[in-house]
Chain A
Amino acid sequence: MLMVFLQQALNGIILGCIYALIALGLSLIFGILEVANFAHGEFYMLGAFMALFSMSGLGVSFFPALLIAMIGMGIIGALIERAVFRPIVGKPLINSMLLSFGLSTALANLALLLFGADPQKIESGLADYHLRFFGLHLTAERLMVLVVSVALVILLAWFIQSTRTGKAMRAVSQDRVAAQLAGINVSRIYTITFAISGALAAAAGTMVGAMFFVSPEMGFSVVLKCFIIIALGGFGKIRGVIVAAVMIGLAESLGGGFISYAYKDAYPFLLLVLLFMLKPQGLTGGSGR
């Protein structure tokens, strides 16, 4: 029983790492631009397709494809920010919600039109290597997902904490006008934020495409889950979001394994309701990060 529990917990943590990558991007956009990007799931979906096509079209192997997808979605993210979101920064939240819902539908249907509805698989070539330790079971593919996501999250945290651009991003998220007065190019920060978020989503999408499948509708359910995560973890807070993402992964995995798998998608929402009842100020509490 203990082994089953530990195995379920391990599965949940890996799932949580994927959620963290997507939710962090969403949270950055929310914190810095103050827009809700419901099209974020489509960034993740397009990133996965980009990796799939670079593997099938260009013949590159998995890791270069992951990199191509991240760079490609970084550029597309920046372009979308410039063309779609820039004009509504500073407007009420409802504007960005409606706009991004529309963008999400448009991108998902465009993908459906261009790529077809059939799910496809990214072959990382790692799924057939099995690791066993202390009675736990892990494929090399899942280990890769764990390592890559943790590395990306650490990289992001370092970037935001220690680089000049990262500090500027934090400044903009605290006070846009003051940052502008201090000589920060706010528009540039917006573009960088979208590029980073797009790249993180693409990395998550590629890894999910390897573990599961790539399909045009893969983005929508994920984005809702990630909004729960940033609501749980606190909008714009990196550590809170990571903790919340892992919690949601664990809730799905343990709830699915020990209560009932058929109602798996309900557990994250249940967790959110409980949190609002018991700790309305959020996981990491009050202000600050």
Chain B
Amino acid sequence: MRGKGILRSVLCVAAMLSLGCAAWAALPDGNVRVGVVMPTSGTLAYDGGLTLNGVKMAVDEINAAGGVSGHKVELFIEDSAGVPATAVAAMEKLVGMQKVVAVIGDFGSSGTLAMMDVAKRSQTPLITPISLAPKITELGNIWTFRGCDSSEMIAKSFTKWAVAEKKLDKWAFIGVNTDYGRGSVDAFSKKVKDLGGEVVYTEYFQQGETDYYPIITKLKASSANALCMLGETVDLSRVVSQFHEMGLQEKITIMDPTSGTFNPKFLELAKAKANGIIGASRFVASIKTPKAEKFVADYQKRYNIPPEKYAQAGYDVAHMVAMAVKNADSTDTAKVREALAKIEYEGPQGKAHFDAKNQLQIGEYIIVVKDGKFEIVAGPIMAE
């Protein structure tokens, strides 16, 4: 008897998919199945774990409040290990075996880019909470959503504030010699020039470099009034110490718009020298809105650490998926996709919706490091 039931529901799903899903409203019995692909091992494990914290907290909140129209949300979590091939296998498993309504993931842009094809082929909405590469929403894949800002949006918002408002018009770049570093330098340079600013010096370094004196010495001789750093925690902490050793802090404002330095390890390494670094972030724990304050308090209580933008992204994206299922009133993936595209969401970060390219439209906060704390100086600033 049971076998017949399963057969029937499989046939129903197949029929729904093939017919382009006719008017089958109301959620079917059972849980709302949501897939998550995040790195829970490998070098990104710590960061991926933060996002997962946010996702789990959101799901528990939803279920405690009665679920999605009375149906509990059930998570299926797979490890991408930060490896694109593993991410694809994980996504295949989620859509093929677990029959999830949507997948949240991956962390790194390369993983998300790899999973996008599976999303398109299986017609399952994929929403990344973290990946910054502009390309993800530029490829015209309607099944992929970005639930956070892109590096291009950060560049737009940040330069708007720094160049137009703060008159920091002579930029120097020190970037890591990778796709991320070079790509970001190009994106920012273009925006700075668009706004009438000037790029006076650009230099790249190898990951793991220790001695930045040659760069800092040239920087000192340049006419720059703003230094934009693009790199990772440890390398940038050396740049910042040597910047201070050369006594440039009076003359040049130091900026880290992709916030590679806004973490406890950097503060530990750079100590007081971190003071005054300006960055951009879509979320910091010091945002004073009721939604943000509640989120920060709940998260702090649950995990004993303050949330940052990775946890916030996981939290928001999980809520968005649940909201889309509720609005669609169906677990049909095509309907969920449509509902997700039309969503009007408000979370700890603020109000947000997707544009025609499935890119979330949100503002950036301009933050500054002060005595080990991140203070908001402006924002949210929208990219457009």
Contacts and interface: CB of A to CB of B under 8 A. Distances in A.
Contacts of B177: 262
B234 A261 contact: no
A4 interface: yes
B246 A262 contact: no
Interface string B269-283: 100000000000000
Contacts of A253: 213-214
A11 B210 contact: no
Contacts of A261: 203-205, 214-215
Contacts of A142: 245
B203 A252 contact: no
Contacts of A213: 210, 234, 238, 269
B344 interface: no
Contacts of B217: 4, 7-8, 11, 257
B291 interface: no
A212 B211 contact: yes
Q: Which of B209, B211, B215, B244 has the most CB of A within 10 A?
A: B211
Nearest to A221: B208
A11 B213 contact: yes
Interface string B242-270: 00111100000000000000000100010
Contact of B269 (A15, A119, A208, A262): A119
Given A4-B217, A15-B211, A262-B206, A127 B245 contact: yes
A262 B203 CA distance: 7
Interface string A138-174: 0101100000000000000000000000000000000
Given A127-B241, A130-B247, A264 B214 contact: yes
A175 interface: no
B179 to A, nearest CB: 14
B372 to A, nearest CB: 16
Give chain A's interface secondary structure class.
Answer: helix
A112 to B, nearest CB: 14
A261 B217 CA distance: 12
Contacts of A121: 269
B218 interface: yes
A262 B204 contact: yes
A106 B214 CA distance: 33
B196 to A, nearest CB: 28
B221 to A, nearest CB: 5
B234 A119 contact: yes
Contacts of B247: 130, 137
A205 B203 CA distance: 27
25 contacts: A4-B218, A4-B220, A7-B217, A7-B220, A8-B214, A8-B217, A15-B211, A127-B241, A130-B247, A137-B220, A137-B247, A212-B211, A212-B238, A252-B211, A252-B214, A253-B213, A253-B214, A256-B214, A256-B215, A257-B214, A260-B204, A261-B215, A262-B203, A262-B204, A264-B206
In order of increasing CB-CB distance, the 5 nearest A-B pairs are: A256-B214, A257-B214, A212-B210, A11-B213, A262-B204
Given A15-B211, A256-B215, 17 more contacts: A1-B221, A4-B220, A8-B217, A11-B217, A119-B234, A121-B269, A130-B247, A208-B210, A212-B211, A212-B238, A213-B210, A213-B269, A257-B214, A257-B215, A261-B204, A264-B206, A265-B206
